[in-house]
Structures are given as structure tokens and as C-alpha cells.
């Protein structure tokens, strides 16, 4: 997977927390990328009604409270898929071999079970959880 998902989480934290509204340019500076990459991400987040452009003003507005916005919702918006895909299965096992004929549904089931557990983890984590962990991380590093 590319880094759009973690960049989207970073973007959402900025939109949620920044005192002054941030433009794509401002966000790009913090994420460490270019504004067009951020615009692609904000476009996808808008499409799923997670954020909107502020009316008659610069920057964006979060439409879902951070405690209700799960990482799974962010993932779905950014990857444009409902499924986390971890494992690929070989496409052409030989139907004339007894193993070849039956392995795909079995592997598919097993892999899907694992992928669903990963999806569940993302469903159980909200943007607020990430921000709370970041605050703890900040306190820890300030104490050093």
C-alpha cells in the first residue's frame, strides 16, 4: 500500500486541530508532500462527506466528530474499497489436479478471515484515538 492512508490521517488531524484553517498548501508542508497529492486526498475525503471546504473561506471542515470517525471510514474513502487486501492468490491453479481444483476457495476464506480482523481493528479505532495517542507521545517527548 502506498502512503495515502497515513497521509490522510495526518491531514484529518490537521483539519480537526489546527487553530487557523489550513489550505492544501499548508497541509502539504506538514505532511511533507506536494499540494496536489493533498488535494487528491481531500477530494476523496470530500466525496465520502468526511470533510467539506469551508464556505467562503479557506481550508476545510471536519463533518464527522473525531470520536465517531473510524480509521476504517478513512481507509474506505482513500483506498476506494471496503476491503483491506493483504494476500493475493495465484490465479490459474490447474483444474485437473485435485489440489488445483479446490485450493482457491480455501485460501480465499483463510486470507479473508485475516483481512477481516485487520478491518475490525480499523473499525475500532477512531481519529480521536490517534489524537489521544499523539498527545501522550507529545507529553512523553516533552518530559525527555
In the structure grid, which three cell numbers stand for residue 49, read together? 462527506
For every residue of 81-121, DSSP letters joined together read SSS-------S---TTSHHHHHHHHHHHHHHHHHHHHHHHH
For position 141 contacting a second copy by CB under 8 A, the verdict is yes
In the complex, the smallest distance separating the C-beta of residue 128 from a second copy, rounded to whole angstroms, is 13
In the complex, the smallest distance separating the C-beta of residue 47 from a second copy, rounded to whole angstroms, is 21
For position 67 contacting a second copy by CB under 8 A, the verdict is no
Residues 6+ apart with CB under 8 A from 86: 111, 114, 115, 118
For position 19 contacting a second copy by CB under 8 A, the verdict is no
Segment lying near a second copy (by CB under 8 A), choices 46-54, 59-67, 99-107: 99-107
Residue 6 belongs to what H/E stretch?
helix 4-17
Provide the β-strand partners of residue 70.
126
Least Cα distance to 131 among 79, 50, 55, 67 occurs for 67
Q: Of 59, 118, 123, 128, which lies in the binding site for a second copy, with binding defined by CB under 8 A?
A: 118
In the complex, the smallest distance separating the C-beta of residue 25 from a second copy, rounded to whole angstroms, is 13
Reduce the DSSP state of residue 8 to 3 states and report it.
Answer: helix
Segment lying near a second copy (by CB under 8 A), choices 42-50, 51-59, 61-69, 86-94: 86-94
Instruction: Give me the residues that bind a second copy (CB under 8 A), please.
Output: 1-3, 5-7, 9-10, 13-14, 17, 29-33, 71, 84, 86-94, 97-103, 105-107, 109-111, 113-114, 117-118, 121-122, 125, 130, 133-134, 137-138, 141
Amino acid at each position: 500500500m502506498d502512503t495515502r492512508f497515513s497521509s490522510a490521517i495526518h491531514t484529518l488531524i490537521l483539519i480537526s486541530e489546527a487553530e487557523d484553517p489550513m489550505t492544501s498548501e499548508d497541509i502539504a508542508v506538514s505532511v511533507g508532500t506536494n499540494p496536489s497529492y493533498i488535494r487528491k486526498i481531500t477530494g476523496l475525503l470530500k466525496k465520502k462527506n468526511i470533510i467539506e471546504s469551508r464556505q467562503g473561506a479557506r481550508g476545510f471542515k471536519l463533518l464527522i466528530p473525531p470520536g465517531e470517525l473510524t480509521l476504517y471510514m478513512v481507509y474506505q474513502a482513500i483506498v476506494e474499497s471496503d476491503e483491506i487486501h493483504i494476500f493475493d492468490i495465484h490465479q490459474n491453479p490447474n483444474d485437473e489436479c485435485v489440489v488445483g481444483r479446490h485450493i482457491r476457495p480455501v485460501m480465499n476464506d483463510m486470507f479473508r478471515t485475516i483481512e477481516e480482523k485487520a478491518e475490525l481493528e480499523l473499525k475500532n479505532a477512531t481519529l480521536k484515538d490517534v489524537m489521544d495517542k499523539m498527545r501522550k507521545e507529545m507529553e512523553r517527548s516533552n518530559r525527555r
